[in-house]
Amino acid sequence: MANTKHYTELGLTNTRDIFKKAMAGGYAIPAYNFNNMEQLQGIIIGCVESKSPVILQVSGSARKYADPTFLPYMAMGAVQMVKALGAGIPITLHLDHGNTFELAKSCIDSGFSSVMLDGSHHPFEENAALTRQVVDYAHEREVTVEGELGVLAGVEDEVSHEVSHYTKPEEVEAFVEKTSVDSLAISIGTSHGAHKFKVKPGEEVPPLRFDILEEIEKRVPGFPIVLHGASSIEPEYVKMINAYGGKMDDAVGIPAEQLRRAAQSAVCKINIDSDGRLAMTAMIRKVFAENPAEFDPRKYLGSARDELIKMVKYKNEKVLGSANKA
């Protein structure tokens, strides 16, 4: 690759120190997905204003959308903006759901400081071998790696599964040992997308399997655990979207109390994608509905960015506990 650069040249950090501090402090680092400028700025400003470390994450298709050459410079722009604001929050650029060695390598070579290799759809041995291959390449360059055991239900950019398969705690030790991964995504009942559970109005969503999480913590004490599919699908945004012409009737997510409990455990990273999408979509719909003649993108994208800042601050302060930890 002609344009090879190391993440330190962009001013980014890997996840080693931030996870160590999160583990000791009983909170989780937010990992927000982005693919455009307003999302990126909303996330960064929200994290600066709440003084939180942040993991900026992109899926393979989000990287393609933003352009693989352009993307690292977006992260670099975020780092420079944070400096200009006089804030010193650590910023990680992370590949979400990498599915091949080549994709992970390409991200590492272009300046990512952390990558996920999701081999969870493969049998254990294949998953471990593929993850190990990425770890070997990544660790030579001080890049950290997230693996995955167990399958989440739901639909995300790179993954789609009908049913979830909970992580088997008895496989975790061997996987961590064989692969030398730095963190592990597990499946305990969270789910990708905006329609996480099929419940009737007023019905409770099924609780996360904290018993599995506790069993995993016992087997690999102090090892950083990651929760995917952990958006709450904030009802106020779903309501707004529906009120302004959208249609998201049975959207439900993970209640904030359960995420708070997870953040205090070995869970060091909580992924939030859908909630950011909902916040922006709700505001864009509102602006268009109330101002049908509006055609300046700054008016609707600017409102969307402002709402995302609010949402990020709320998550960091009230759910993950990462505020004031930068």
Contacts with Zn ion, residue ranges (CB under 5 A): 228
Nearer CB in complex with Zn ion: 48/159? 159
3-state SS class at 164: coil
Q: Work out how close the CB of 12 gets to Zn ion at its nearest, in angstroms, rounded to a whole number.
A: 21
Nearer CB in complex with Zn ion: 134/240? 134
Nearer CB in complex with Zn ion: 64/218? 64
Q: Work out how close the CB of 132 gets to Zn ion at its nearest, in angstroms, rounded to a whole number.
A: 21
Q: Work out how close the CB of 33 gets to Zn ion at its nearest, in angstroms, rounded to a whole number.
A: 9
- Helices 274-290 and 235-243, interaxial angle, to 10°? 30
**Catalytic annotation, pick one of 96, 157, 182, 273:** 96
DSSP secondary structure letter of residue 8: H
User: What are the structure tokens assigned to 294, written together?
Assistant: 């509006």
- Helices (DSSP H) in 158-296: which residue ranges? 169-179, 210-219, 235-243, 256-263, 274-290
Q: Work out how close the CB of 118 gets to Zn ion at its nearest, in angstroms, rounded to a whole number.
A: 8
User: What are the structure tokens assigned to 174, written together?
Assistant: 């061997």
Q: Which secondary-structure segment (H or E) carries 133?
A: helix 124-139
Evaluated on CA atoms 130, 136, 138, 142, the torsion sign reads positive
3-state SS class at 108: helix
Which residue's Cβ lies closest to Zn ion? 228
273 assigned to active site: no
Are β-strands 153-155 and 160-161 bridged in parallel, bridged antiparallel, or unpaired?
A: antiparallel
Nearer CB in complex with Zn ion: 112/300? 112
Catalytic positions: 96
